[in-house]
Amino acid sequence: MSFGGPQWPQQPQHGQQQGQQPFGGQQQPFGQQPLGGQQPFGSGGQTPDWGALADASAARARRRRWLMIGGGALATLVVGAIVATAIVTGGGEKGTTGKNGGPTPSLSPTDSPEPQPSFSSIAPPPPPNPKDFISHESKDKAPISPESLFPGKKLTMSGRAYAKGPTSSTTNCASVGQGGLGEILKRNGCDRVIRATYTKDGVAITVGVAIFSTEAEALKAKAQAKGGIAPLAGGAVKEFCRATVCLRRANAVGRYAYFTQAGFADGKKVTTKDTPIFKASDDLGNFAFNQIYARGRMQASAAATAPAN
């Protein structure tokens, strides 16, 4: 027989007469009516409808299979729902939940929250300004000399090398000016003038730094400047910028006014086309500024790292 399908009709038992129904009377096996009005196989001698019987058996088998599949899927959904419920409700201790309904993790006695950085509400003081230390003699206490302002035997600016010649330092500011500059320095409170001369390829330049007590005095001297710083000769450097035309410039930073005078070592007159003269004047002026400002940076740095009183 087919699994789950109808059983085949039984043969009449011995002792029954042919033409009688099995098990007495009109009862058919399993409540089935004879197909096509014919008697079951073995009772009427007719051949059963094998195709109809096979279709009925297959239909029952399909129904039983779908019932088994549907039951398995339902069982899977039930188990999944139980597991999900256990995960949601099995959070931290005492069934606590987070803001969005999820479990809130609990801390064991040995755990502690991650420490958070703390910041002071008091802003640190700003770093000292280097210009403050070179703007007044009360703060500009670092030693100063020709060697500290113009160190070494040569300097290089923008790839151009200059040899250092003679240097000087004097408190007689009026003696180191030409064309009235000395008197202007003295009148505005000049305390000291430091000079140095450099040479390169037949060009000679003297740079002079005049030191005042305050920035205001240095700015006045720069604004009133006329003439120029007196050229400084000596050693291998012969007299230059005497009775000829040279390039003179004046500038100031902090309590320092600085001046340059550049010309040809052989006394030739300078014209606007003499590019080496202008480059030399620029180089020495920039060098003087850098050296003065470096004093401010050095003293500001020392003040920033000094212990508080």
Kindly state whether residue 40 falls inside one of the protein's structural domains: yes
Q: Give the SS3 label for residue 10.
A: coil
Asked if residue 13 belongs to a domain, the reply is no
CA separation for the pair 39, 35 (Å, rounded): 8
pLDDT band at residue 108 using 50, 70 and 90 as cut-offs: low
- Exposure b/e, 158-197, CB count within 10 A at least 16 = b: eeeebebbebbbeeebeebbbeebbebbbebbbeebbbbb
Whether 143 and 63 share a structural domain: no
**Domain identity same for 280 and 164:** yes
Residue 179: the pLDDT is 94
Instruction: Categorize the per-residue pLDDT at 131 as very low, low, confident or very high, splitting at 50, 70 and 90.
Output: very high
The answer to whether residue 255 is domain-embedded is yes
pLDDT exceeds cutoff 80 at 33: no
Is 45 part of a structural domain of the chain?
yes
- Both 76 and 144 in one domain: the answer is no
Pair 65, 165 in one domain: no
Q: Which residues contact 296 (CB under 8 A, 6 or more apart)?
A: 129, 130, 131, 132, 133, 134, 140, 254
Q: Give the separation between CA 167 and CA 297, rounded to whole angstroms.
A: 24
Q: Name the pLDDT band for 103 (thresholds 50, 70, 90).
A: low
Shared domain check, 137 and 270: yes
Average of per-residue pLDDT across 127-136: 93
- Rounded to the nearest 10 degrees, how much is the dihedral formed by the CA atoms of 160, 144, 138, 309? 100
Residue 59 lies in a domain: yes
In whole numbers, what is the pLDDT of the chain averaged over residues? 78
- Which pLDDT score is estimated for 99? 52
Question: CB of 28 within 8 A of CB of 40?
Answer: yes
Q: Are residues 71 and 182 in the same domain?
A: no
Q: Distance between terminal CA atoms of the chain?
A: 111
> How far apart are alpha carbons 265 and 199 in whole angstroms?
8
Is residue 104 within 8 Å of residue 223, measured between CB atoms? Answer: no
Q: Is the pLDDT of residue 272 over 70?
A: yes
Of 84, 117, 152, the position where a domain reaches its end is: 84
Indicate whether 279 and 144 sit together in one domain. Answer: yes
- Indicate if the pLDDT at residue 275 is higher than 50: yes
- What CATH number is given to the structural domain containing 241? 3.40.1000
Mean pLDDT of 148-176: 97
Q: Give the structural domain span for 270.
A: 132-303
Q: Is the domain of 69 the same as that of 141?
A: no
- Position 69 scores a pLDDT of 56
- pLDDT for position 101: 54
Between residues 10 and 90, which one has the greater pLDDT?
90
DSSP state of 169: E
Residue 43: both structure tokens together? 């009772």
User: Is 154 found in the same domain as 284?
Assistant: yes
pTM for the predicted model, two decimal places: 0.61
Whether pLDDT at 280 is above 60: yes
- Residue 121, pLDDT score: 67
Q: Is 193 helix (H, G, I), strand (E, B) or coil?
A: strand
Query: Beta 177-178 vs 228-229: how paired, if at all?
Result: antiparallel
Whether residues 78 and 136 share a domain: the answer is: no
Asked which of 64, 84, 104 is the last residue of a domain, the reply is 84
**In 3D, which of 207, 214, 303 has the Cα closest to residue 262?**
207
* The domain boundary residue, chosen from 84, 102, 124: 84
Residue 176: which pLDDT band, with cuts at 50, 70 and 90? very high
Percent of the chain with pLDDT over 90: 56
Identify the weakest region by mean pLDDT among 183-187, 222-226, 255-259, 304-308: 304-308
Position 3 pLDDT exceeds 60: no
Residue 4 placed within a domain: no
**Of 166, 165, 167, 132, residue with least CA distance to 255:** 132
At 50 the pLDDT is 58
Domain-embedded: residue 66 = yes
| pLDDT at position 11 over 60 | no
Same domain? 187 vs 298: yes
Q: How confident is the model at residue 137 (pLDDT cuts 50, 70, 90)?
A: very high
Number of separate domains in the chain = 2
Q: Are residues 148 and 270 in the same domain?
A: yes
Q: Alpha-carbon distance 231 to 197, whole Å?
A: 8
Residue 150 maps to a domain: yes
**pLDDT over threshold 80, residue 202:** yes
Eight-class DSSP state of 103: B
Q: Is the pLDDT of residue 18 over 80?
A: no
Q: Which helix (H) or strand (E) holds 247?
A: strand 247-253
